[in-house]
Structure 1
Amino acid sequence: MADEPPLPRTRVVLGEAAARRGPADPARTDLTEGTPIGDALVKGLIRAQLALALRLSLVVAAGLGALPLLFAAAPAVGGLKVFGMNLPWLLLGVLAFPFLVLVGAAYVHWAERNEQDFTAVIRRPER
């Protein structure tokens, strides 16, 4: 018995788990294999995220960019004092940061909603 060569190793595969698993989801297969349908789904998500980012950047540009224009067009508004501070300092130096945080939080919320919608499309059963 000592002279016999050792048996070759065999690989054990969980065949039962693979057999229990249902058929592959066509949408996930499209995504992982890079088919034209999967590419269209991913491009749709990217387009939605880009459109959201552009809309919110326009909100920031309009909100913060309009203030210097307002102060230049109506110098009397720039001379107003609120809580002992000049209005331009209050708006641009203090209130701009909470505004930017709110816009950022809104972006995160809506971007996650876009991703959840994308995931719902992928997980939707075929009809």
Structure 2
Amino acid sequence: MSTSQGPGELRPRRVRITSPRTSAARRPTVPTGTREIDEQTRLGEVYMNSLIQSQLRLTLAVIGVTVLVLGSLPLLFWLIPPTRTVAVLGLPLPWVLLGIAIYPVVYVAARIYVRKAERIETEFTEFVGRQ
């Protein structure tokens, strides 16, 4: 590198210029969807209503199927009278079904509900985070 300075001239010293706030914590960028919900704008309200409707649809579906399955048992006993007298392990079939078998059905329904509700919330969070 050639210089046009003479032997007696000194080069100017380099100065590094930095912002006084370089060590300050930076504000995280909040996705627009999250901001819309936090600020309770019309778009945020639409987002929340869609989440609530999805959860309500799931709730009604799980309750409906559970009521249909459990509610059909008394109908079965009424329509087919011999089922009232059948014994399983020394207990009448209606007692076994309504007193014992009902709990696994309710447990499975609850597990399905929780798993799908978590999936809905995860998808909602990912969608809002992308906006």
Common fold by TM > 0.5? yes
Give RMSD over aligned pairs.
1.8
Question: In structure 2, how many angstroms separate the alpha carbons of the residues matched to 1:57 and 1:82?
Answer: 28
SS of the residue corresponding to residue 34 of structure 1 reads: coil
Stretches (4+) displaced over 4 A: none
CA contact 2:32–2:129 (8 Å) conserved in 1? no
1:57 partner letter: I
Percent identical residues: 36
SS of the residue corresponding to residue 16 of structure 1 reads: coil
Deviation, 1:16, is 2.2
Q: Which of the pair has the greater relative contact order for Cα pairs under 8 Å at 6+ separation?
A: 2
Number of aligned residues? 110
Within the alignment, does 1:88 sit opposite 2:91 as a pair?
no
| TM-score with structure 1 setting the length | 0.80
1:111 partner letter: A
Aligned counterpart for 1:72 among listed residues 78, 81, 84: 78
Bigger Rg, which one: 2
* 1:33 paired residue number: 39
Structure 2 portions without partners, runs of 5+: 1-22
Deviation, 1:23, is 4.0
| TM-score with structure 2 setting the length | 0.77
The structure with the largest helix share of the pair is: 1
Structure 1 portions without partners, runs of 5+: 1-14
